Amino acid sequence: MIVIGVDTGGTFTDFIYKKGDAWSVYKRLSTPANPARAVLEGLRQIGGKDPRQIVHGSTVATNALLERKGVKTVLITNRGFEDIIEIGRQNRTRLYDPAYRKEPPIVPASLRFGVRGRILCTGEILEDLNADDVQDVLEKIRKEGAESIAVCLLFSFVNPAHEKEVERLLRERDAVPVSLSHEVLSEFREYERTSTTLINAYVSPIMKHYISCLSDSLGRGDNLRIMQSNGGCISAQKAMSESVRTILSGPAGGVVGAFEIGKMAGFEKLIAFDMGGTSTDVSLLDGKLPFTLESTVAGYPVKVPMIDIHTVGAGGGSIASINAGGALKVGPESAGADPGPVCHGKGRRITVTDANLYLGRLVPETFLGGQMRLRVERLEAHFRKMSEELQLSPVELAEGILSVANATMERAIRVISVERGHDPREFTLLSFGGAGGLHAAFLAKLLDIPRVLVPQNPGILSAIGMLLADVVKDYSLTVMLKETDMDKGRLLEMFRPLETRGTADLASEGIGIEHVVLDKYLDMRYQGQSYEIIVPVGDDSHEDYVESFHRAHENMYGYRNTGKIVEIVNIRLRGRGFPEKPAFKKIESGTPIPPDDAFMSERDVIFDSIPLKAKVLDRSRLMGGNTLRGPAIVTEYSSTIIIPPFAEVIVDAYGNLIIDVK
């Protein structure tokens, strides 16, 4: 069995794979016009005749939503509620911006249809579903040429009978794919449930086409799984029907990998910093993976469990430009894989990667193990032209580009740490992504973070994380129980259908019952509050989960209100299956002085406008216990790591670089 992890990014597509007992890595440029082409070409390059277990993180659903390139989608709801997706909430994300405009709904009014029939909040049928209305809607759908249908009826999470009947009537006469809200999100809050169901319908046909393209090219014994936003993976078949769960597929793999490697190295308080070619993703891990149910993607609420990740448009391919006021701007526009940065050979606009190369912080001969040539000779003309426009020297321009990019990433880290009550000085910055090692030490200094951890092969950590991920299934159900109605036996009984479903779904993924864990959670709030806190619940009959909620509320908001009635709004079940995962081996130990063959060369690198001699080292030859003072450059296949003059590094037992920021 060949095990392969694949992560598709905006600039590179990354692979980690195991043949026999040997692990190897591979990177190739992405193919934005058809992302599957880079994946299939990479799989052909890896080769091998044995069956393959492939776990893939895809940006296909994300890009379809961000670029509004999903399929033509229809919404069917109760008559009189067709505009709920446009009315939304009264929240304004930019309260003091007079030019602010809400994102237009992904389904226009002409494609939103209401049908007669009503189910009450108790699940009782007040008015039967009108089959003639559904047939009329079907005729309109045919005339419009819709490619996908979202069905979201009131209180279907309590009684899905009408949604199931609509699906039956639709499928009798048409093969257009249908997304039912009680299957996508069996929870209250009509706007969020409608939005999530619509997004699923909007992107699922795109994802189905993409996954089918991959699956049809795989061998008979190959097995393909897709990474989810919640940090677990699911079968390709499930990902095609519930594509909304893959919106943050790639970044989630990186956070899972960061968490596992950080824990192995002895660090559980981590800030995961993933700087790729197009964007930077940051996440705060305080002893556990951070989850959220309140995500918004491209302005639309997506209420499925996701790893809490904050993304900014700053990456190695971020383009430097001059704004209308004559100031230097970096990102969010990216040069991508084609044409790419100037130094890749085709690009004509300066990027962050070009600035690093201009300052000597990238070694052209070692980029991607020497397999990709960086065109240093192309930089001078472009830097001179832009620096003259800004009345700067070319060196000042290059350093300015890096400073602006660093400031953007610093703000992103402050959002997930300082603005949420966390002190960055208590955390370790775990840096990965192809460009992360070039900026991590400087960001740590800006934020007073004491150390940086750079794992081996940081440029492919997202792909590694996909192989470290569990198979995860999330289920939820709105129950609306008051504190006075809570009985532990009754509550556990309400979990039984979810447990049965979770065990069966994991079995269909090839996970035996002995490798399954079912975690239970309660969404709780004080009566009258608008939002809930997720509280874990065990099987111990003496456990006081109400007290657990009071404690969690006090930790989050600084107070508890024991005089208020507590409500359980939703119950949640997370089913986790544990497939075979790669094991990390310790490297050979050495002395504090790196071996002679680790030193490759010396080169001038500019720091604060001053050229300094920096040693260039081959990371693959470093040994556990080796130490090094900056300035230095550590090169490897998937990334380059800068050790500035103010830092020193030690290599730990697993080959991680621990950079001490003075």
Q: Give the tens place of pLDDT for each residue, 590-612.
A: 999 999 999 999 999 999 999 99
Cβ neighbours around 220 below 10 Å, total: 5
The residue with greater pLDDT, 145 or 658, is: 658
> Is 22's pLDDT higher than 90?
no
CA dihedral 141→146→147→150, nearest 10 degrees, is -70
d(Cα 626, Cα 620) in Å, to the nearest integer? 12
Phi, psi of 485 (to 5 degrees): -100, 0
User: Which DSSP letter does residue 351 get?
Assistant: B
Q: Give the tens place of pLDDT for each residue, 368-423.
A: 888 888 999 999 999 999 999 999 999 999 999 999 999 999 999 999 999 988 99
- Tell me if 465 sits within 8 A of 256, measured CB to CB: yes
Domain 66-207 sits in CATH 3.40.50: yes
- Tell me if 393 sits within 8 A of 387, measured CB to CB: yes
Q: Give the tens place of pLDDT for each residue, 255-267.
A: 999 999 999 999 9
Pairing of strands 300-302, 295-297: antiparallel
Q: Which pLDDT value is given to residue 296?
A: 83
Q: Percent of the chain scored above 90 by pLDDT?
A: 65
Residue type, 129: L
Sheet of 451-454: strands edge to edge?
310-312, 280-286, 269-275, 428-432, 451-454, 657-661, 647-651, 627-629
> Is 175's pLDDT higher than 80?
no
Buried b (16+ CB within 10 A) or exposed e, 120-140: eeeeeeeeebeeebbeebbee
How many H helices and E strands in the chain?
16, 34
- Tell me if 192 sits within 8 A of 140, measured CB to CB: no
d(Cα 66, Cα 60) in Å, to the nearest integer? 10
- Per-residue pLDDT band for 540 (boundaries 50, 70, 90) equals low
> Is 543's pLDDT higher than 70?
no
> Is 542's pLDDT higher than 60?
no
> Is 434's pLDDT higher than 60?
yes
Residue whose C-alpha is closest to residue 199's, from 293, 84, 298, 334: 298
DSSP line for 433-471: STTGGGTHHHHHHHHT--EEEE-SSGGGHHHHHHHHPPE
Residue with tokens 């409608």: 194
Residue type, 515: H
- Per-residue pLDDT band for 484 (boundaries 50, 70, 90) equals confident
Q: Give the tens place of pLDDT for each residue, 267-276.
A: 999 999 999 8
Q: Which pLDDT value is given to residue 486?
A: 75
The domain segmentation of the chain, as residue ranges, is: 66-207, 471-577
**What distances in angstroms separate CA 126 from CA 78, 93, 129, 279, 436, one per listed residue?**
13, 37, 10, 50, 58
d(Cα 554, Cα 398) in Å, to the nearest integer? 47
Sheet of 471-482: strands edge to edge?
22-29, 12-19, 2-8, 52-57, 223-227, 233-235, 471-482, 566-577, 516-526, 533-537
Q: Give the tens place of pLDDT for each residue, 324-379.
A: 889 999 988 888 878 889 999 988 999 999 999 999 999 998 888 888 889 999 99
Mean of the per-residue pLDDT values of the chain: 91
Q: Which pLDDT value is given to residue 219?
A: 82
Residue whose C-alpha is closest to residue 352's, from 312, 389, 400: 400
Q: Please give the average per-residue pLDDT across 415-434, as a whole number.
A: 93
Q: Give the tens place of pLDDT for each residue, 447-469.
A: 999 999 999 999 999 999 999 99
What is the token pair recorded at 135? 């047939």
